Amino acid sequence: MLFFLLFSTLALCVQAIDIEAGFLYGMRTVADSQIKKVYGNGSCMFPFVGVNIWKGLGLAIGYETGFSRDGKIGLYEEPTTLKVGGFIVSLVYQHRLGLVAPYLGLGYGSFSYEQTIDSPYAFEKVDATQGGLVISAGIKVYPLKNVFICGDFKYIPLKVKPFEETVDLGGMRLSLGLGASFGL
């Protein structure tokens, strides 16, 4: 009942709410040179939903997935796998200029990372979660009234300590996507 009352009050105070949903796909780099040497860069997918709170200021949530890389590690070239993905919540400012809308975002991401090393001497596995800052910028182009094509750039520093040394599993994401907006 309390949720219904709060939602009703919000609906009376706000003239219109715009909701966006979309999907980004692109390249993901790895910041740490040693990790990049073993696994290389990869790709990522990012489905997201956002809501306009007030005059171009919005809140967005999405899930980054798709980074799963195999490699060889150590003196004996043992098989290894690295997977990274996580939720991102961002405060986004978008300024619509006709058919084009540039945007900036600042947020927080909670990422899970899993690394396995398959060795005949020992099987090692890391399965942990780490949070970090997310900085984004991009541009949306509206070829139709409620449909947009977007280009997105994100930078995410993600320092983790899976074994003895700290490494940066973060890096840059450069993505292209498609989405739609709905007014309530």
What pTM was computed for the model?
Answer: 0.79
Whether residue 11 is contained in a domain is answered as: no
Residue 175 is predicted with a pLDDT of: 95
Whether residue 23 is contained in a domain is answered as: yes
Whether residue 112 is contained in a domain is answered as: yes
Helix (H, G, I), strand (E, B) or coil at 11: helix
Residue 8 is predicted with a pLDDT of: 54
Whether residue 41 is contained in a domain is answered as: yes
Range of the domain at 110: 18-183
In the chain, how many domains are there? Answer: 1
Tokens of 86: 């996580």
- Name the DSSP class of 74: T
Residue 6 is predicted with a pLDDT of: 46
Whether residue 108 is contained in a domain is answered as: yes
Residue 177 is predicted with a pLDDT of: 95
Residue 108 is predicted with a pLDDT of: 94
Confidence of residue 122 (pLDDT cuts 50, 70, 90): low
- The closest alpha carbon to 49, from 104, 88, 103, belongs to 88
CATH of the domain at 162: 2.40.160.20
pLDDT tens digits along 25-84: 999 988 888 888 888 888 999 999 999 888 889 999 999 998 888 888 877 788 888 888
Residue 23 is predicted with a pLDDT of: 96
Residues with Cβ within 8 Å of residue 50, at least 6 apart in sequence: 19, 20, 21, 58, 59, 60, 61, 92
Whether residue 5 is contained in a domain is answered as: no
Residue 156 is predicted with a pLDDT of: 87
Residue 79 is predicted with a pLDDT of: 85
